C-alpha cells in the first residue's frame, strides 16, 4: 500500500517536470507551428548557468538562469527562426535541429562532454514524512511550479492584450496579422515565455540531478514534443496533461512491470502514444481551433 | 553545382597531402575521439600514451628510432572512426590506439586488422575486443567487465562481510549490464540467490528521474547491507537522488564511476566504494602510479581525471616492450611477443595475453572508498574464481 | 516527359562522378565517398515517402536498423553467429548467404514491419503522423537494444563481412535513384503529389490517399533498409545506437536542406552536407594549407555545419533546389 501511494507521488512529480516542458513546446507550436527541438538546449543552457553560479547566492543564480535562457530564446528566434518563419513546418523543424545541434556542440566545446557535478538547492532533497510515505520537497515544488506556470500563462493569454493577440495568432496567424496583430512581437513574447519555462525546468532539473551534461535536455524535449501532440495541438492544458500522463505512465510501468520487461518500458510507453493517436488523432483534448475546415 | 564539384575536388586535394614520414622514426596512430561525446574517455588515455612516448624517446627511442604520433579525430562517430583509422594508417602508423569503448573503437580496429596492423583499445572492457570479435591484431588494455563485477562481489562478500544486496543496473550501455550480471553470478555462488533482496534497472540518459527505482529500494524491509550500483554516464545524478532520498547504504561500483568530477553533486559523499585501475589522486599504494600522476600533472598542468589514463600509458608501454623483444616492428613478430605476456608488470598492473585472449581477466583492481568526498585507497583485489569468458 | 529523363541522366552522372572521385582517391577519400553514397541511398529512400506525401517521418532509421540486422543474421559467417548470437533460430544459424541474398532478406523483413506500422501511420495526418513515426522509432530502438539474443542488445554485433565498398554503394545509389525517380513519376506518385498539395481535394477527387501513402511508406522503408544493410557491411559491425536520433536528424537535414520536394534536392542536399562535413573534419584537424598553419580545433566541425545549415535554410527556405529538378533547358512544365 505504501509502495502504491509512493509510486503515485513519484508518478506525479516525474510527470510535472515533463508537463512544464510540454507547456513551453506547446505554446510555440500553437503560435507558429514550430516544433522547437532547441528547447532541449534552452534547458541545458539553464543548467550550465546554474552550474557556473553554484557557489553564488541561489536567488541570484536562479535569476541569472532565467535571464540567460530568455535572452538565448529571443536571440535564437531573431537569428534562426524569424528568417524562415513563413517556410513550411519541415524547414522550421530542421532549423530547430540545427539550432539544437549548434548549442549542444557549443556546450561540448566550452565545457567538454563529461558531466559536471554541482550542488544547488540541497534543501529540496529533504522530505516530508506522512505516515510511511515520503514526499520530497522537490516534488512539492515541482508540482507547485507547474500549476503556477499553467495558471500564469492562462491568465496572461486571457487578460493581457498580447496574450489575446497570441491566442488570435494561434487560431489563424494570417487573419490575426490582417487585424493588426504584430507578428514579430507575438512570436518574440512566445519565445520569451518558452524561455522562462525552460529556465524553471532547468532549476528543478538541476536541483534533482546536480549534474550538467550537454545532452541532458533531449529527453525532456522529446517527451514534451510527444505530450503536446497527444494532449491536443495548440491546447495548453492538454499539453500539460499530456506531459503528466507520459511521465506518470513511465513511472507506473517501472513500478508494476516484472524485472525482465522493465527494460522494455519505453516501448510500452510509446506504444500507448501510438494507440492514443489512433483513437484520438486530434489529441486527448482537442482544441476548437485545430479542426481542419474542408 | 560548380561549387559542389570544387568542394569535392578540394576534399580530394586536402586529404591526399603527403604524409610527413621521417626515415628514422616510427609512427603510432591515434584515431580517437578528440571531440564529441566520447572525447572525455579518450582524453586521459591519449595524454598518457603521449607521455609514454616521451618517456621512451627520452631513453633513446625504440630500436633506435624516435616514436612520433599522428592523431585523427573520430568525432565520436563509429563510421568516422574507421575513416580516422584509414587516415593514420595511410601515414604509416605501425600501431594504433583506438577508443576506450567497443562500439566506438571496433570500426577503427577492424580497419587495422584488414591491413594487419596491431590495434589496442585503451579501455574497452568487452572481451569481444580481441581475437574473437575483431581479429588477431586487436588487444585491449582494460580489465574485463566480467572480472570487475565478480571482483566486487567477492570483495563485498569476503572482505566486507556483507550478507544482503540490492542490484541497481543502468541498461544504457553494455558495460554496466555486464558488470552487474557478472556481479550477480559470482555473488550467487558465494552466497545465495535469496541474499539478493531486489534488483532494478534504469536508463542513464532516458530516465530523467529514478524516483520509482528509489521507492523500490526503500520498500525493502529490512534494508539490504549494500547496493551494487552499476552506473556510468550520469551516475552522479543517480547517486545524488539516492542519497537525497535518505538511502545511506554503502554503494559499490566499478571504474565507470572513477573520478571526482561528479562528486560535487553529492557534497560529503561517504560510504561509496569504487574499483579502479589506479588512483588518479596521488595516493595509490603503488608509488609507480603516483609518479605517473605527477609527471602527467607536470606535462599537462592537471592531474588525470580518472585512472583510465593508466591504460593509455600501458598501451604504448606494452607495444614497445613487445617490439624490443621481437627486435622488429613487424606485426606478426610483435604480436607473437604480446601473446607471451604473462603477468607482465605494466603501469596499469600485471598484464597477461594469450593467443586466444587479448583482454585481462585476472588483473587486480584498486578498491577505493569515498569518505567525505575524498578518495581513499583500500587494497588491490581480484576475484579468486575467474568468470567464464563469453563473447 | 523528356525533361524527367534528363533529370535521371544528370543525377546518375553526378552519382557516377562522385563514385569516380572515390575510385581515384586515396583510401580515406574512398571511405568518405562510400559513406556519402550510403547516406544518399537513405536520403533517397526518405524522399520517396516524405517528398511525395509531404508527411515528415522520424521513424525511418528503424527500417535501416531492421534491414541491417535482418541481413546480418544471414550474411554473417556461421562460426561468428554461433559465437555471438548462439540463440538465433537453428535454421538461421545453419545458413550463410551472400550480400545480395542477405540484403534481400533484410529489406523484406524491414518492409514487412514498415507495412504493419504504415497502416497506422497513414491514417494520421500531419504532425500526428510524424509523432507516430517517432514513437515507432523509440519502440524499435528499445526492443532492439534489449533483444540480446537477436542483436546482442546494447553490445555491438561484429563479424559482418566487409562486402561494401564505393562500387557497391554506387550501384545501390543508382538503384535507389531509379526507384525514387520511377515512383515519383508513376501514377501513384503523381496522385500522391496531388494529395500533398491538397489532401481534401485529392480525397474528393476519389484518390485513396491512405493506400497511396502506404505504398510510398513501404517502398521508402525498403530503400532506407538497403542503406542500413550497406552501412552494416561497410563498417563490419552494427550497434543499435547507430540508427537512432542522430541518424534521423542528419538524414532529414540532408533531405530538407536539399529541398524535400524534388529528387535532385535529396541528391544535392546529401552531397553538400556530406562534403562540407568532411571538409570541416579535415579542417578542424588542423594542418597546413598554403603554408599557413591551422591549429586543430576539435568540435568546430559540428558548430560550422549547424551554421551552414541555418544559413542555407535562411537563404532558401524550401531547400537548395526549391522543389525543382535538375534538367536540360528544354524542361517542360511538370504535369500536375
The answer to whether residue C131 neighbours chain A at the CB level (below 8 Å) is yes
For residues A21 and A243, the answer to whether their CB atoms sit within 8 Å is yes
A176 occurs within a structural domain: yes
Q: Which of B326, B344, B343 is nearest to B335 (CA)?
A: B326
The backbone region for B92, taken as left when phi is positive above 0, alpha when psi lies in -120 to 50, beta otherwise, is left
Residue in B15, B35, B110 nearest the CB of C299: B35
Residue in A94, A270, A294 nearest the CB of C138: A270
Residue of chain B minimizing CA distance to A266: B206
Q: What average pLDDT does this structure show over C34-58?
A: 96
**B154 to chain C, closest Cα gap in Å:** 25
B306 occurs within a structural domain: yes
Of the pLDDT bands very low, low, confident and very high (cuts 50, 70, 90), residue B61 is very high
Domain ranges, residue A91: 13-225
Q: Are residues B94 and B163 in the same domain?
A: no
Q: What average pLDDT does this structure show over A44-58?
A: 96
How many domains, in total, are found in chain B?
A: 2
Contact B200 A10 (CB under 8 A): no
For residues B97 and B315, the answer to whether their CB atoms sit within 8 Å is yes
Of the pLDDT bands very low, low, confident and very high (cuts 50, 70, 90), residue C111 is very high
Q: Are residues B370 and B237 in the same domain?
A: yes
Strand partners, B372: none
pLDDT > 70 fraction of chain C, expressed in percent and rounded: 94
Contact B263 A117 (CB under 8 A): yes
Of the pLDDT bands very low, low, confident and very high (cuts 50, 70, 90), residue A176 is confident
Written as one string, the DSSP assignment of C61-77 is: HHHHHHHHHHHHHHHS-
B5 occurs within a structural domain: no
**A150 to chain C, closest Cα gap in Å:** 24
Q: Which of B132, B128, B200, B129 is nearest to B169 (CA)?
A: B200
Residue of chain C minimizing CA distance to A80: C310
Collapse the DSSP code of C90 into the 3-class scheme (helix H, G, I; strand E, B; otherwise coil) and give the result: helix
Of the pLDDT bands very low, low, confident and very high (cuts 50, 70, 90), residue C288 is low
Cα–Cα dist B234/B170, whole Å: 10
Residue of chain C minimizing CA distance to B87: C28
Cα–Cα dist C245/A217, whole Å: 14
Domain ranges, residue C176: 2-243
pLDDT digits (tens, 9 = 90+) for B96-142: 999 999 999 999 999 999 999 999 999 999 999 999 999 999 999 99
Which chain B residues contact residue A210 at CB under 8 A? 236-237, 240, 264-266
Q: Are residues B194 and B80 in the same domain?
A: no
Residue of chain B minimizing CA distance to C156: B103
For residues C127 and C55, the answer to whether their CB atoms sit within 8 Å is no
What pLDDT score does C335 carry? 44
What pLDDT score does C279 carry? 87
Cα–Cα dist C181/C174, whole Å: 10
Q: Which of A276, A243, A272, A212 is nearest to A145 (CA)?
A: A243
Q: Tell me if ipTM is over 0.85.
A: yes
**C273 to chain B, closest Cα gap in Å:** 10
Which chain B residues contact residue C32 at CB under 8 A? 11, 15, 83
The answer to whether residue A75 neighbours chain C at the CB level (below 8 Å) is no
What pLDDT score does B164 carry? 97
pLDDT digits (tens, 9 = 90+) for C138-176: 999 999 999 999 999 888 899 999 999 999 999 999 999
- Chains contacting chain C through 3 or more C-beta pairs under 8 A: A, B
Q: Are residues B239 and B339 in the same domain?
A: no
Which chain B residues contact residue C21 at CB under 8 A? 8-9, 12
The backbone region for A14, taken as left when phi is positive above 0, alpha when psi lies in -120 to 50, beta otherwise, is alpha
Cα–Cα dist A73/A69, whole Å: 6
The number of beta carbons lying within 10 Å of the beta carbon of residue A260 is 9
> Where are the alpha helices (H) located in chain C, listed in sequence order?
2-24, 27-53, 60-75, 78-84, 90-93, 99-121, 126-146, 148-151, 166-184, 187-197, 199-204, 209-235, 245-258, 263-284, 300-315
Calculate the average pLDDT of chain B. Answer: 93
For residues B367 and B273, the answer to whether their CB atoms sit within 8 Å is yes
What pLDDT score does B3 carry? 52
A240 occurs within a structural domain: no
Cα–Cα dist B366/B135, whole Å: 30
C291 occurs within a structural domain: no
Q: Are residues B96 and B173 in the same domain?
A: no
For residues A235 and A283, the answer to whether their CB atoms sit within 8 Å is yes
Strand partners, C300: none
pLDDT digits (tens, 9 = 90+) for A189-233: 999 999 999 999 999 999 999 999 999 999 999 999 999 888 877
Among B5, B9, B11, pick the best mutation site for testing chain C contact (most C Cβ within 10 A).
Answer: B11
Please count the residue pairs, one from chain A and one from chain C, whose beta carbons lie less than 8 angstroms apart. 127
Cα–Cα dist A94/A35, whole Å: 9
Contact C318 A94 (CB under 8 A): no
Q: Are residues B246 and B172 in the same domain?
A: yes
The residue that leads in pLDDT, C219 or A180, is: C219
What pLDDT score does C46 carry? 98
Q: Are residues B47 and B72 in the same domain?
A: yes
The cell for B351 is 598484464
Contact C282 B15 (CB under 8 A): yes
Cα–Cα dist B186/B352, whole Å: 22
Residue in A7, A209, A219 nearest the CB of B212: A7
B360 occurs within a structural domain: no
Residue of chain A minimizing CA distance to C308: A98
Which chain A residues contact residue B240 at CB under 8 A? 117, 125, 208-211
The residue that leads in pLDDT, C40 or C195, is: C40
Contact A277 C314 (CB under 8 A): no
What pLDDT score does B48 carry? 98
What pLDDT score does A197 carry? 95
Among C310, C311, C318, C322, pick the best mutation site for testing chain A contact (most A Cβ within 10 A).
Answer: C310
Strand order in the sheet with B118-121: B66-73, B25-32, B93-98, B118-121, B138-140
Q: Which residue has the cell 503560435?
A: A31
Q: What average pLDDT does this structure show over A13-24?
A: 92
- pLDDT for A84 beyond 50: yes
Q: Are residues B207 and B304 in the same domain?
A: no
Collapse the DSSP code of B28 into the 3-class scheme (helix H, G, I; strand E, B; otherwise coil) and give the result: strand
Residue in B90, B177, B391 nearest the CB of C26: B90
Domain ranges, residue B207: 145-276+365-381
B343 occurs within a structural domain: yes
Contact C124 A278 (CB under 8 A): yes
Which chain C residues contact residue B36 at CB under 8 A? 299, 302
What pLDDT score does B22 carry? 56
For residue A3, CA distances in Å to A8, A72, A142, A246, B207 come to: 9, 42, 21, 20, 20
The secondary structure element, H or E, covering residue B223 is: none
pLDDT digits (tens, 9 = 90+) for B1-39: 445 555 555 544 444 444 444 568 999 999 999 988 999
For residue B374, CA distances in Å to B276, B282, B284, B285, B302 come to: 15, 12, 13, 16, 18
Residue of chain C minimizing CA distance to A86: C317
Cα–Cα dist B150/B305, whole Å: 25
- Chains contacting chain B through 3 or more C-beta pairs under 8 A: A, C
What pLDDT score does A292 carry? 44
pLDDT digits (tens, 9 = 90+) for C60-98: 999 999 999 999 999 999 999 999 999 999 999 999 999
What pLDDT score does C248 carry? 95
How many domains, in total, are found in chain C?
A: 1
**B159 to chain C, closest Cα gap in Å:** 32
Residue in B71, B107, B171 nearest the CB of C237: B107
Please count the residue pairs, one from chain A and one from chain B, whose beta carbons lie less than 8 angstroms apart. 128
B338 occurs within a structural domain: yes
Q: Which residues contact A211 (CB under 8 A, 6 or more apart)?
A: A115, A116, A117, A118, B234, B236, B237, B240, B262, B265
Cis peptide before C189 (omega within 30 of 0): no
pLDDT > 70 fraction of chain B, expressed in percent and rounded: 94
Q: Are residues B175 and B221 in the same domain?
A: yes
What pLDDT score does A286 carry? 63
How many domains, in total, are found in chain A?
A: 1
The answer to whether residue A83 neighbours chain C at the CB level (below 8 Å) is yes
**C47 to chain B, closest Cα gap in Å:** 20
Of the pLDDT bands very low, low, confident and very high (cuts 50, 70, 90), residue B217 is very high
In the stretch 11-30 of chain C, residues with CB closer than 8 A to chain A read none
* DSSP-derived pairing of the beta strands B165-170 and B196-202: parallel
Which chain A residues contact residue C253 at CB under 8 A? 94, 97-98
* DSSP-derived pairing of the beta strands B226-230 and B251-253: parallel
The cell for C115 is 507495412
B358 occurs within a structural domain: no
For residue C95, CA distances in Å to B128, B136, C111, C161 come to: 23, 25, 22, 14
- pLDDT for A287 beyond 70: no
- pLDDT for A33 beyond 80: yes
Which chain B residues contact residue C234 at CB under 8 A? 79
Q: Are residues B96 and B165 in the same domain?
A: no
- pLDDT for A160 beyond 90: yes
Q: Dihedral sign, CA of B264, B265, B266, B271? A: negative
For residues B212 and A189, the answer to whether their CB atoms sit within 8 Å is no
Contact B128 C154 (CB under 8 A): no
B13 occurs within a structural domain: no
Contact B86 C28 (CB under 8 A): yes
B70 occurs within a structural domain: yes
Of the pLDDT bands very low, low, confident and very high (cuts 50, 70, 90), residue A167 is confident
In the stretch 193-222 of chain B, residues with CB closer than 8 A to chain C read none
Angle, helix C99-121 to helix C60-75, in steps of 10 degrees: 150
**A278 to chain C, closest Cα gap in Å:** 7
Longest dimension (CA), chain C: 67
Cα–Cα dist A221/A37, whole Å: 6
The residue that leads in pLDDT, B280 or C5, is: B280
Calculate the average pLDDT of chain C. Answer: 91
pLDDT digits (tens, 9 = 90+) for B244-266: 999 999 999 999 999 999 999 99
Contact C25 B35 (CB under 8 A): no
> Where are the alpha helices (H) located in chain B, listed in sequence order?
2-15, 39-58, 78-90, 102-114, 145-154, 174-190, 211-218, 235-244, 287-300, 309-326, 331-338
Contact B107 C285 (CB under 8 A): no
Reduce the secondary structure of chain A to three states and give it as a string: CHHHHHHHHHHHHHHHHHHHHHHHHHHHHHHHCCCCCCHHHHHHHHHHHHHHCCCCCHHHHHHHHHHHHHHHHHHHHHHHHHHHCCCCHHHHHHHHHHHHHHHHHHHHHHHCCCCEECCCCHHHHCEEEECCEEEEHHHHHHHHHHHHHHHHHHHHHHHCHHHHHHHHHHHCHHHHHHCCCCHHHHHHHHHHHHHHHHHHHHHHHHHHHCEECCCCCHHHHHHHHHHHHHHCCCCHHHHHHHHHHHHHHHHHHHHHCCHHHHCCHHHHHHHHHHHHHHHCCCCCCCCHHHCCCC
HSE-CB at C225 with a 13 A cutoff on CA atoms is 26
- pLDDT for B188 beyond 50: yes
Q: Which residue has the cell 545509389?
A: C173
Contact A211 B212 (CB under 8 A): no
**A263 to chain C, closest Cα gap in Å:** 7
What pLDDT score does C289 carry? 62
What CATH number did the domain enclosing B32 receive? 3.40.50.2300
- pLDDT for A47 beyond 90: yes
- pLDDT for C56 beyond 90: yes
Amino acid at each position: 500500500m505504501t509502495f502504491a501511494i509512493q509510486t503515485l507521488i513519484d508518478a506525479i512529480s516525474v510527470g510535472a517536470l515533463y508537463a512544464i516542458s510540454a507547456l513551453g513546446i506547446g505554446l510555440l507550436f500553437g503560435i507558429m507551428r514550430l516544433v522547437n527541438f532547441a528547447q532541449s538546449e534552452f534547458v541545458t543552457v539553464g543548467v550550465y548557468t546554474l552550474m557556473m553560479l553554484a557557489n553564488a547566492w541561489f536567488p541570484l543564480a536562479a535569476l541569472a538562469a532565467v535571464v540567460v535562457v530568455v535572452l538565448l530564446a529571443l536571440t535564437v528566434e531573431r537569428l534562426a527562426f524569424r528568417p524562415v518563419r513563413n517556410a513550411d513546418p519541415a524547414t522550421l523543424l530542421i532549423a530547430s535541429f540545427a539550432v539544437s545541434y549548434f548549442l549542444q556542440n557549443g556546450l561540448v566545446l566550452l565545457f567538454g562532454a563529461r558531466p559536471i557535478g554541482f550542488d544547488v538547492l540541497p534543501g529540496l532533497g529533504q522530505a516530508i514524512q506522512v505516515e510511511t510515505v515520503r514526499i520530497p520537497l522537490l516534488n512539492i515544488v515541482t508540482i507547485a511550479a507547474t500549476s503556477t506556470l499553467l495558471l500564469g500563462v492562462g491568465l496572461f493569454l486571457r487578460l493581457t492584450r498580447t496574450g489575446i493577440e497570441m491566442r488570435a495568432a494561434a487560431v489563424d496567424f494570417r487573419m490575426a496579422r490582417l487585424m493588426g496583430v504584430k507578428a514579430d512581437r507575438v512570436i518574440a513574447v512566445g519565445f520569451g515565455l518558452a524561455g522562462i519555462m525552460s529556465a524553471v525546468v532547468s532549476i528543478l532539473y538541476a536541483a534533482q540531478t546536480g549534474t550538467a551534461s550537454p545532452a541532458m535536455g533531449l529527453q525532456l524535449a522529446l517527451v514534451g514534443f510527444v505530450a503536446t501532440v497527444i494532449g491536443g495541438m495548440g491546447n495548453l492544458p492538454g499539453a500539460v496533461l499530456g506531459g503528466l500522463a507520459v511521465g506518470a505512465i513511465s513511472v507506473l510501468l517501472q513500478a508494476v512491470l516484472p524485472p525482465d520487461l522493465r527494460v522494455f518500458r519505453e516501448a510500452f510507453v510509446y506504444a500507448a502514444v501510438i494507440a492514443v493517436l489512433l483513437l484520438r488523432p486530434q489529441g486527448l483534448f482537442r482544441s476548437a481551433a485545430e479542426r481542419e475546415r474542408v | 553545382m560548380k561549387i559542389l564539384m570544387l568542394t569535392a575536388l578540394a576534399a580530394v586535394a586536402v586529404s591526399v597531402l603527403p604524409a610527413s614520414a621521417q626515415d628514422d622514426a616510427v609512427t603510432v596512430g591515434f584515431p580517437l575521439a578528440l571531440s564529441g561525446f566520447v572525447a572525455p574517455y579518450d582524453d586521459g588515455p591519449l595524454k598518457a600514451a603521449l607521455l609514454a612516448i616521451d618517456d621512451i624517446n627520452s631513453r633513446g627511442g625504440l630500436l633506435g628510432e624516435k616514436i612520433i604520433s599522428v592523431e585523427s579525430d573520430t568525432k565520436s562517430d563509429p563510421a568516422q572512426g574507421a575513416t580516422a583509422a584509414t587516415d593514420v594508417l595511410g601515414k604509416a602508423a605501425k600501431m594504433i590506439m583506438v577508443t576506450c569503448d567497443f562500439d566506438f573503437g571496433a570500426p577503427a580496429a577492424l580497419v587495422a586488422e584488414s591491413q594487419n596492423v596491431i590495434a589496442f583499445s585503451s579501455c574497452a572492457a568487452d572481451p569481444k575486443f580481441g581475437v574473437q570479435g575483431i581479429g588477431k591484431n586487436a588487444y585491449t588494455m582494460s580489465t574485463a567487465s566480467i572480472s570487475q563485477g565478480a571482483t566486487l562481489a567477492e570483495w563485498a562478500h569476503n572482505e566486507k562481510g556483507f550478507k544482503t544486496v540490492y542490484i541497481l543496473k543502468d541498461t544504457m550501455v553494455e558495460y554496466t549490464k555486464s558488470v552487474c550480471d557478472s556481479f550477480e553470478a559470482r555473488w550467487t555462488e558465494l552466497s545465495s540467490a535469496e541474499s539478493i533482496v531486489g534488483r532494478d534497472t534504469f536508463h542513464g540518459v532516458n530516465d530523467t528521474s529514478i524516483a520509482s527505482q528509489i521507492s523500490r529500494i526503500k520498500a525493502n524491509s529490512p534494508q539490504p547491507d549494500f547496493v551494487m550500483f552499476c552506473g556510468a554516464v550520469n551516475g552522479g545524478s543517480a547517486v545524488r537522488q539516492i542519497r537525497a532520498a535518505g538511502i545511506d547504504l554503502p554503494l559499490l561500483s566499478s571504474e565507470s564511476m572513477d573520478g571526482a568530477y561528479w562528486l560535487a553533486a553529492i557534497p560529503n559523499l561517504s560510504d561509496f566504494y569504487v574499483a579502479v585501475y589506479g588512483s588518479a589522486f596521488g595516493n595509490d599504494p603503488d608509488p609507480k602510479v603516483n609518479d605517473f600522476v605527477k609527471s602527467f600533472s607536470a606535462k599537462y598542468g592537471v592531474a588525470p581525471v580518472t585512472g583510465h589514463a593508466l591504460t593509455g600509458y600501458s598501451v604504448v608501454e606494452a607495444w614497445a616492450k613487445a617490439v624490443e623483444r621481437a627486435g622488429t616492428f613487424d606485426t606478426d613478430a610483435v604480436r607473437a611477443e604480446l601473446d607471451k605476456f604473462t603477468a607482465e608488470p605494466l603501469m596499469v598492473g600485471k598484464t597477461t595475453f594469450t593467443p586466444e585472449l587479448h583482454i585481462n581477466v585476472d588483473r587486480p583492481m584498486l578498491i577505493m572508498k569515498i569518505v567525505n568526498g575524498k578518495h581513499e585507497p583500500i587494497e588491490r583485489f581480484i576475484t579468486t574464481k575467474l568468470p567464464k569468458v563469453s563473447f | 516527359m523528356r525533361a524527367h529523363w534528363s533529370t535521371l541522366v544528370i543525377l546518375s552522372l553526378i552519382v557516377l562522378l562522385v563514385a569516380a572521385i572515390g575510385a581515384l582517391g586515396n583510401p580515406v577519400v574512398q571511405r568518405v565517398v562510400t559513406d556519402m553514397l550510403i547516406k544518399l541511398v537513405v536520403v533517397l529512400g526518405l524522399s520517396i515517402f516524405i517528398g511525395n506525401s509531404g508527411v515528415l517521418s522520424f521513424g525511418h532509421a528503424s527500417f535501416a536498423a531492421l534491414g541491417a540486422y535482418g541481413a546480418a543474421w544471414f550474411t554473417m559467417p556461421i562460426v561468428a553467429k554461433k559465437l555471438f548470437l548462439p540463440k538465433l533460430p537453428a535454421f538461421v544459424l545453419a545458413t550463410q548467404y551472400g550480400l545480395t541474398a542477405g540484403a534481400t532478406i533484410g529489406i523484406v523483413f524491414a518492409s514487412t514491419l514498415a507495412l504493419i506500422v504504415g497502416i497506422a501511420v497513414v491514417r494520421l495526418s500531419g504532425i500526428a503522423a510524424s509523432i507516430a513515426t517517432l514513437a515507432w522509432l523509440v519502440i524499435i530502438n528499445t526492443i532492439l537494444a534489449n533483444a540480446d539474443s537477436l542483436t546482442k542488445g546494447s553490445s555491438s554485433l561484429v563479424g559482418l563481412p566487409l562486402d561494401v565498398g564505393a562500387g557497391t554503394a554506387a550501384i545501390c545509389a543508382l538503384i535507389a535513384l531509379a526507384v525514387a525517380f520511377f515512383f515519383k513519376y508513376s501514377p501513384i506518385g503523381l496522385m500522391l503529389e496531388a494529395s500533398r498539395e491538397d489532401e481534401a481535394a485529392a480525397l474528393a477527387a476519389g484518390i485513396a490517399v491512405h493506400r497511396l501513402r502506404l505504398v510510398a511508406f513501404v517502398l521508402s522503408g525498403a530503400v532506407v533498409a538497403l542503406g542500413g544493410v550497406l552501412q552494416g557491411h561497410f563498417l563490419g559491425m552494427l550497434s543499435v545506437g547507430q540508427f537512432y536520433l542522430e541518424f534521423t536528424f542528419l538524414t532529414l537535414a540532408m533531405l530538407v536542406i536539399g529541398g524535400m520536394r524534388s529528387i535532385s534536392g535529396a541528391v544535392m542536399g546529401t552531397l553538400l552536407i556530406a562534403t562540407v562535413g568532411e571538409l570541416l573534419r579535415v579542417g578542424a584537424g588542423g594542418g597546413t594549407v598554403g603554408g599557413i598553419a591551422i591549429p586543430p580545433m576539435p568540435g568546430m566541425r559540428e558548430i560550422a555545419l549547424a551554421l551552414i545549415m541555418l544559413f542555407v535554410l535562411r537563404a532558401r527556405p524550401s531547400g537548395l533546389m526549391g522543389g525543382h529538378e535538375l534538367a536540360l533547358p528544354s524542361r517542360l512544365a511538370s504535369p500536375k
